[in-house]
Amino acid sequence: MGVDDHVSGVAEVARGSLVREIGARGVWERDPVWRDAFRVVPRHLFVPYYYVVVAGAYERRWCAAPDPPAREEWLRGVYDDVPLATRVRDGELVSSSSQPSLMALMLTELRVRDGDRVLEVGAGTGYNAALLAHRLGDDDLVTTVDLDPEITESARQHLAAAGYRPAVVTGDGARGVPERAPFDRIIATCALSSVPRAWLTQCVPGARVLAPVATGLLALTVSDAAHAEGRFLHTPAYFVPLRGAGQRAPGAYASDEVPGPAAGNDLFRFLRALTGDVLTPSDAYALWEREGRPVRERYGVSIDADEQWAWLDRPHGRHRWPLPS
């Protein structure tokens, strides 16, 4: 057996284990066809190297390591259900391959239908675009965009090596890709402070937008070019911020600014990130306690022309906070 055959064999076994691990969480129940996409698309072709933190610094693992055990360690790491740091600049993470189980959740929650035109904002390694292309069975239905030409060129090469050729665009994801519109679905794999209005203008009525906002996953239904509304999913989500026009980095907001049970609580950190500077830490804490420490699904976002706001329980209820537009 040659080196390539050995890699393929190990990868196939590891990929099968990953698919079973994700399936054990019930992710495939909404749309079982995604199981086949994750089983077929070879993640290792999209992550020829990645970085792990060792003694406080990034250390690279890669497919061409001279030591065979090191190459095997790289390959098995590719199919672990963890996010992988794929691009580091000046000690700062600028791109990654998301945790596969989170990718599976997001793709199933995108509710893709046969024939849908899909825009992905944040090309990453190209792996997510390949999964979409496999699911839809038509590369031309998928567009992925990223601001960094190094990222898009790398994604394009990975996709071609795996046999997929969706449209890979270098540009500001906050502006969408108007020349490829209209879209039935938009999925973002980068964190937002608010939803770019340009996306709505490039969607068909009834389109679904799934994007990380604050530290949650927001699922919006688009009514028309000026209106959209939706709620957050239950799961936490942490992504590299979107870089582009009108976008600022989403606030991290430490929860240890207040005492007691809020310290370190993920749901309180979500409220702080969502409300930003609108609520002081003490006000946010009082609201959080008074409302029974609300889960993410109780929050949502509404867009009405130039106004965009987050809310708790009801779009026009007493608890609503403006988002940057």
Q: What confidence tens digit (pLDDT) does each residue in 83-95 have?
A: 999 988 877 777 8
Q: Are strands 227-236 and 299-304 parallel, antiparallel or unpaired?
A: antiparallel
For residue range 196-236, what is the model confidence (pLDDT) as tens digits?
Answer: 999 999 999 999 999 999 999 999 999 999 999 999 999 99
CA distance 235 to 35: 20
Residues 6+ apart with CB under 8 A from 69: none
pTM: 0.92
The pLDDT confidence band at residue 29, using thresholds 50, 70 and 90, is confident
Residue 143 · residue 132 · CB < 8 Å = no
Residue listed under structure tokens 């250390």? 59
What is the band of 255 on the pLDDT scale with cuts at 50, 70, 90? very low
Give the per-residue pLDDT at 1: 37
> Residue 29 and residue 49: Cα distance in Å, rounded?
32
Give the residue from 195, 278, 200 showing the smallest Cα distance to 244.
Answer: 195
- According to DSSP, the residues that pair with 220 across neighbouring strands are 209, 230
> Which residues are catalytically annotated?
95
Q: According to the model, what pLDDT value does residue 241 have?
A: 86
pLDDT tens for residues 97-120?
999 999 999 999 999 999 999 999
Q: Rounded to an integer, what distance in angstroms lies between the CA atom of residue 90 and that of residue 112?
A: 38
Cis peptide before 182 (omega within 30 of 0): yes
Q: What is the pLDDT of residues 303-313, one digit of tens each?
A: 999 899 999 99
Q: Which domains does the chain have, with CATH numbers?
A: 3-236 (3.40.50.150)
